[in-house]
Amino acid sequence: MEATAPINLANLIKYMWEEHKPDFEKRLNSWANALNCGKDVSALAKKEFHQWHPLRTYISVSKAKSDSRAIYSLRFYGQEVAQLIVKDKKVILQLKGHEEKNKKWFGVKTKDDDYTWRGKDAKAFRARFKEIARKPNELRVKSPEHRVESKFIAEMQKGADKFGVAGLQIQPVMIANKFPLQILLPISANTGVPKTGTGYIDILARRKTKDNKVRLSVWELKRPEEFKEATAQAYIYAFTLLQILRESKSKNEWYKLFGFKSAIPNKLVIEAVVAITSNQRKIYLEKKEALMHNAPSVIGNDRIELYVAYYREQDNSIKLEENPFVKKPCV
């Protein structure tokens, strides 16, 4: 029986892009406009409230509504427990459809309603989650991936010694320098093969290299002792991001949203980072070897670089076993 040639992921994504270009352009433009409209409101929100550990505030294109009203996702170790609404220069804690879930997972019994963020009810709500976080061994969340993601973002936001690694200069892409940005893509990669749909980058970060250049870094995270199709996913999302910055009409808007003030350079390097526990090392090496045959790293003047970050999850933090961006000498 004749062997089947592996699918070239880059060519497949390019083909899908051309075939669905009008729809992709419409979605990307809508998402960019929503985020741009929310930037001024996000700046106001930054003044009105701050991160109350262990609760964290996220902004996504699905929640950035207009320039007069912004909705944020309030999460506990990655799981949404409420929404924050900024309206008429006031911040409201909104529990709508969260009461039963919060009671089930965390024993928090605050009723579905709207509460002033600075009021006593909102204060008690925050205090309850702070109390729960003091007992990490009893902590349960619906999605372990979201829990890990939350800890990764917290580490990236530290001023120094991120992940216990000295000199690692990396930050998640933020709105108003405060709210992590959840990036949606018009191509999904959950199965390890690109498909039309909505894909989610776990974390999009900006990393400063030794020559002071800043690279976009796409992180695909897996829960402890899990791998699935992490390598292919990281590559597909990195390549799709490259397509947005090269082929979409809204590419300049996206580049600005990613925190850059200059024009898109002639040469781009996008990092595709697989974050897994070290007991997945063997499968990663096997998947990486297979990926090399159907995923080119050089695309015109641009390049996609694949890295692996082996991590250890701790009660309230994440530690990397080594700096994933330091090239190892050949043995």
Instruction: Render each residue's pLDDT in the chain as its tens digit; 331 residues.
Output: 344 445 799 999 999 999 999 999 999 998 888 777 656 556 656 666 666 778 888 876 666 554 445 678 889 988 999 998 877 777 889 999 999 999 999 999 999 999 998 899 999 999 999 998 888 777 788 888 888 998 999 899 887 779 989 889 999 998 777 778 888 999 999 999 999 999 999 999 999 998 899 999 999 999 999 999 999 999 999 999 999 999 999 999 999 999 999 999 999 999 999 999 999 999 999 999 999 888 999 999 999 999 999 999 988 889 999 999 987 654 3
118 and 166 belong to one structural domain: no
- DSSP assignment of 6-46: PP-HHHHHHHHHHHTHHHHHHHHHHHHHHHHHTHHHHHHHH
* Interatomic CA distance for residues 161 and 165, integer angstroms: 5
* Interatomic CA distance for residues 190 and 196, integer angstroms: 11
161 and 112 belong to one structural domain: no
Residue 327: the pLDDT is 74
218 and 83 belong to one structural domain: no
Residue 328 burial (10 A CB sphere; 0-12, 13-18, 19+): exposed
First-residue to last-residue Cα distance in the chain: 38
Residue 117: the pLDDT is 87
Report the domain count for the chain: 2
Residue 95: the pLDDT is 94
Domain extent, residue 115, equals 37-138
Residue 331: the pLDDT is 38
**Domain annotation covers residue 283:** yes
Pairing between β-strand 55-60 and β-strand 179-188 as defined by DSSP bridges: parallel
Residue 65: the pLDDT is 55
153 and 218 belong to one structural domain: yes
197 and 298 belong to one structural domain: yes
46 and 98 belong to one structural domain: yes
Residue 96 burial (10 A CB sphere; 0-12, 13-18, 19+): exposed
110 and 161 belong to one structural domain: no
Picking from 138, 159, 192, the residue at the C-terminal end of a domain is 138
**Domain annotation covers residue 45:** yes
176 and 301 belong to one structural domain: yes
* Interatomic CA distance for residues 86 and 253, integer angstroms: 24
Residue 330: the pLDDT is 44
280 and 314 belong to one structural domain: yes
172 and 265 belong to one structural domain: yes
